[in-house]
């Protein structure tokens, strides 16, 4: 699937899904979203007859006139939430994926998916890039189109520094706004067992989603006409004697085991992980996560998660 095609599908997330649906879906990932609470001036949530003890300011006089007796209207309290999009921009993120994309391209598309929904409900979105040289917060104001321009411009970089996941996690831990959604995008080789302690600390105060990009298995036998992959540090090709079905299977099994263990640990803390090896796969898994979130929060609804029909699916 081309880059333009997947971007069109991402845009439909924010334009074809209704705002209440967007709020409910991201509200589950976020843990607590202000738009679902009573006591504001937003949409009507409940209408009932006035009872002794109710505050007089809650009486809706137009509704009362129609009903012929005092009626109390409870409205939604609307407020703006914050979403922090953290991305690993170490040179390791230039690694190739089975789809032919670079890891950072898939990670960036995942962040676009969260931004499309977050900006739809008027959240404050912050972009943070991190490698061993610096942690940089990218200035951003505007809608989704401006977000894409800002992200694209920021990704035009030398990619010469190594990653520093510890620094990114420490940055996330220091975010003061409790209940703000934190999305961390990196590849499957970045997170190790020692990082789980930091994830647990962050999860105590913030909901967190890990974007886990699966990269190319360097030991997989080559298809006819394809060159051997290059090592990103030495710029040498993986030797032929190392590329075999047995070696590739061992690496694949090990990666899948680590991914399953990491996801299980994150789920224990109430966090989520989305793992994919292409932008298309990432999109499908993101929509699945949103669908499950909607199913869990829909009252009196049983059965499978609702299917989200997006314009990009028609092509």
Structural domains of the chain ordered from first start: 3-30+81-314 (3.40.50.410), 37-77 (no CATH)
Instruction: Label residues 251-290 b or e (16+ Cβ within 10 Å = b).
Output: eeeebeebbeebbebbeebebbbbbbbbbbbbbebbbebb
Q: What is the pLDDT of residue 141?
A: 84
H-assigned helices in 91-164: 103-120, 144-154
Q: Looking at the predicted structure, is the pLDDT value of residue 108 above 50?
A: yes
Q: What is the pLDDT of residue 291?
A: 80
In the sheet that 44-49 helps form, which strands lie side by side, from edge to edge? Answer: 37-38, 71-77, 44-49
- On average, the pLDDT of the chain sits at 82
Q: Is the pLDDT higher at 230 or at 189?
A: 189
Task: Count CA within 13 A, CB hemisphere, residue 290.
Answer: 25
Query: Terminus-to-terminus CA distance in the chain, angstroms?
Result: 11
Q: Looking at the predicted structure, is the pLDDT value of residue 275 above 80?
A: yes
Q: What is the pLDDT of residue 36?
A: 47
Q: Looking at the predicted structure, is the pLDDT value of residue 224 above 60?
A: yes
Q: What is the pLDDT of residue 34?
A: 45
Question: Are β-strands 71-77 and 44-49 bridged in parallel, bridged antiparallel, or unpaired?
Answer: antiparallel
Q: Is the pLDDT higher at 47 or at 103?
A: 103
- Pick the closest to residue 267 from 164, 196, 178 (CA basis): 196
- Pick the closest to residue 10 from 290, 271, 293, 296 (CA basis): 290
Q: 43 pLDDT band (50/70/90 cuts)?
A: low
Q: How far apart are CA 309 and CA 17, in angstroms?
A: 9
Q: What is the pLDDT of residue 18?
A: 63
Q: Is the pLDDT higher at 185 or at 47?
A: 185
Beta bridge partners of 72: 48, 59
Q: Looking at the predicted structure, is the pLDDT value of residue 70 above 50?
A: yes
Q: Looking at the predicted structure, is the pLDDT value of residue 250 above 90?
A: yes
For 150-162, the pLDDT digits (tens) are: 999 999 999 999 9
How many C-beta neighbours within 10 Å does residue 211 have?
29
Largest CA distance in the chain: 86
């Amino acid at each position: 699937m081309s880059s333009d095609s997947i971007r069109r599908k991402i845009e439909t997330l924010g334009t074809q899904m209704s705002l209440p649906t967007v709020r409910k879906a991201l509200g589950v990932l976020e843990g607590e979203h202000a738009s679902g609470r009573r006591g504001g001036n937003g949409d009507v949530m409940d209408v009932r007859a006035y009872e002794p003890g109710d505050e007089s300011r809650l009486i809706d006089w137009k509704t009362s006139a129609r009903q012929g007796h005092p009626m109390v209207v409870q409205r939604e309290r609307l407020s703006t939430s914050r979403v922090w999009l953290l991305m690993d921009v170490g040179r390791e993120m230039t690694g190739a994926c089975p789809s032919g994309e670079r890891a950072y391209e898939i990670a960036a598309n995942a962040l676009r998916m969260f931004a499309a929904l977050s900006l739809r409900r008027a959240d404050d979105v912050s972009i943070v890039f991190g490698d061993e040289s610096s942690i940089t917060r990218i200035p951003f104001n505007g809608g989704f189109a401006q977000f894409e321009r800002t992200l694209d411009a920021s990704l035009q970089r030398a990619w010469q520094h190594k990653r520093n996941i510890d620094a990114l996690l420490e940055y996330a831990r220091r975010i003061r706004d409790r209940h703000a959604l934190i999305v961390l995008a990196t590849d499957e080789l970045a997170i190790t067992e020692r990082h789980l302690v930091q994830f647990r600390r962050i999860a105590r105060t913030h909901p967190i989603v890990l974007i886990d990009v699966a990269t190319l298995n360097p030991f997989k036998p080559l298809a006819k006409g394809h060159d051997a992959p290059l090592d990103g540090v030495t710029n040498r090709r993986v030797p032929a004697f190392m590329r075999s079905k047995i070696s590739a299977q061992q690496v694949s099994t090990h990666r899948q085991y680590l991914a399953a263990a990491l996801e299980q640990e994150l789920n224990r803390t109430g966090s989520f992980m989305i793992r994919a090896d292409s932008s298309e796969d990432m999109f499908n898994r993101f929509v699945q996560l949103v669908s499950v979130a909607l199913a869990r929060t829909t009252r009196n609804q049983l059965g499978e998660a609702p299917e989200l029909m997006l314009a990009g699916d028609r092509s």
